[in-house]
Amino acid sequence: MHKKGILMKRNILVIDDEPTNRFLLENILCEYNVASLDSGNKIWNFLENNKVDLILLDIMMPGEDGYHVAEKISTNEMYKDIPIIFLTAKDGGLSIKKGFDSGGYDYIIKPFDQIALKARIEKVMEKKDIERDLRKKSITDPLTNLYNRRYFFERLDKQIEHTKRTCDIFSIAILDIDYFKIVNDMYGHLAGDYVLQELANTLTKYIRPYDIVARYGGEEFIILFVECEKNESREIIQRIKNKIETSDFQFENNTINLTFSCGISDMSDIKDKNTIDSNAIIKLADDRLLAAKKSGRNTIIDSSE
Ligand code: GH3
Ligand code: MG
Ligand code: MG
């Protein structure tokens, strides 16, 4: 979040084919870092190499017009979060409507008032901050700071769509702490919470940055291993298992030891790739987790007998 009083200059990108407009904006928006481009085509290279907090976008430009640029940015997974304010001489209700329809967050008509422009830039960034903060809260588990199951399913559904198109592989692991109730009963609920946080940290540390780990339920965690067959994800889980098994978790004056059980599934378990859905692949991992529990716990199972 942007905190007033802390020096954190926001980065604004101006896209306008008219040099005098770019020069004017660079000069009047002196409380921001302002960069400018003379055409929408150059934006992709710029975004790849620079952090941008807000885009001021002209509409009438040679080549691609501002509407097209806005449409592409606002539907791009990586950049859709960057707010766009149209800054244009194009007035009239239909033009403004088209601006909002193509992904604009606000629409300002030239010639503009400097104070009003700055006020609207500030307001858009403030709203975006609140939106981002709410979004983060809505997808995060507050105890462990991992993603929650809602976000996990969002990502898994996207992965499945992607897999149906490309046949890219992925695997799922569900972990459940063994006899966790005893931790709570013996050392107290806070000790239980602490152990959950420590396990969450270990999971985050051992998975690859592009995998998704979430808190699935009370003492259950779920991982989406991207582009990874189950024999590879099993190896990662095995390393986590070794680490957890050999760790002494210290809480107050107590030393707590843990193990977990785990079930794994992947695309090779699903016969017809076109029928795959999140419930089917999760159920397989869940059944294997149950089998691991039944076999005595502290086990990883990745196939059905
Ligand atoms: P099993 O080996 O069969 O998995 O046994 P278990 O004791 O781990 O499983 P069980 O489902 O019987 O108990 C899980 C316990 O996890 C019960 C619940 O109170 C506790 N739990 C769930 N969420 C939290 C939490 O956020 N914090 C703490 N401290 N405990 C939690
Ligand atoms: Mg358990
Ligand atoms: Mg459980």
> Phi and psi for 220 in degrees, rounded to 5?
-120, 140
Confidence label for 7 from pLDDT (cuts 50, 70 and 90): low
Q: Which atom of ligand 1 is nearest to the CA of 182?
A: 7
Question: With a 6 A CB cut-off, is 178 part of the ligand 1 pocket?
Answer: yes
Question: With a 6 A CB cut-off, is 218 part of the ligand 1 pocket?
Answer: yes
Question: With a 6 A CB cut-off, is 194 part of the ligand 1 pocket?
Answer: no
Residue 257 is predicted with a pLDDT of: 96
The residue ranking higher by pLDDT, 164 or 206, is 206
Distance 280 CA to ligand 1 centre (A): 25
- Neighbouring-strand partners of residue 14: 36, 56
Distance 65 CA to ligand 2 centre (A): 57
> In the predicted model, is pLDDT for residue 4 greater than 60?
no
Give the pLDDT confidence of 59-98 residue by residue, as tens digits: 999 999 999 999 999 999 899 999 999 999 999 999 999 9
Nearby residues of 139 by Cβ (< 8 Å), 6 or more positions away:
147, 148, 150, 151, 154
For the whole model, what pTM was predicted?
A: 0.84
Give the pLDDT confidence of 112-165 residue by residue, as tens digits: 999 999 999 999 999 999 999 999 999 999 999 999 999 999 999 999 999 988
Give the pLDDT confidence of 243-299 residue by residue, as tens digits: 999 999 999 999 999 999 999 999 889 888 788 899 999 999 999 999 999 999 999
Q: How many whole angstroms separate alpha carbon 136 and alpha carbon 66?
A: 30
Nearby residues of 23 by Cβ (< 8 Å), 6 or more positions away:
none
The count of C-alpha atoms lying within 13 angstroms of the C-alpha of 191, restricted to the half-sphere facing its C-beta, is 20
- Per-residue burial over 277-296, b if 16 or more Cβ lie within 10 Å, else e, is ebeebbebbbebbebbbeee
Residue 167 is predicted with a pLDDT of: 81
- Helices (DSSP H) in the chain: which residue ranges? 19-28, 43-49, 66-74, 93-101, 114-139, 149-166, 180-187, 189-206, 230-245, 278-294
Q: How many whole angstroms separate alpha carbon 138 and alpha carbon 116?
A: 33
> In the predicted model, is pLDDT for residue 5 greater than 70?
no
The first and second tokens of residue 13, run together, are: 């990108």
Q: Which atom of ligand 1 is nearest to the CA of 191?
A: 29
Residue 270 is predicted with a pLDDT of: 86
Mean pLDDT computed over every residue of the chain: 95
The first and second tokens of residue 114, run together, are: 């400097």
Nearby residues of 95 by Cβ (< 8 Å), 6 or more positions away:
59, 88
> Phi and psi for 35 in degrees, rounded to 5?
-120, 155
Q: How many whole angstroms separate alpha carbon 53 and alpha carbon 83?
A: 7
- Ligand closest to 179 (CA) is 1
Tokens 């149209």, located at residue: 86
Residue 8 is predicted with a pLDDT of: 82
Residue 6 is predicted with a pLDDT of: 58
> In the predicted model, is pLDDT for residue 1 greater than 50?
no
Distance 159 CA to ligand 1 centre (A): 29
Contact 40, 76 (CB under 8 A): no
Tell the burial category of 62 from Cβ atoms under 10 Å away from its Cβ (0-12, 13-18, 19+).
Answer: exposed
Residue of 49, 48, 43, 53 lying closest to 15 (CA atoms): 43
Residue 251 is predicted with a pLDDT of: 96
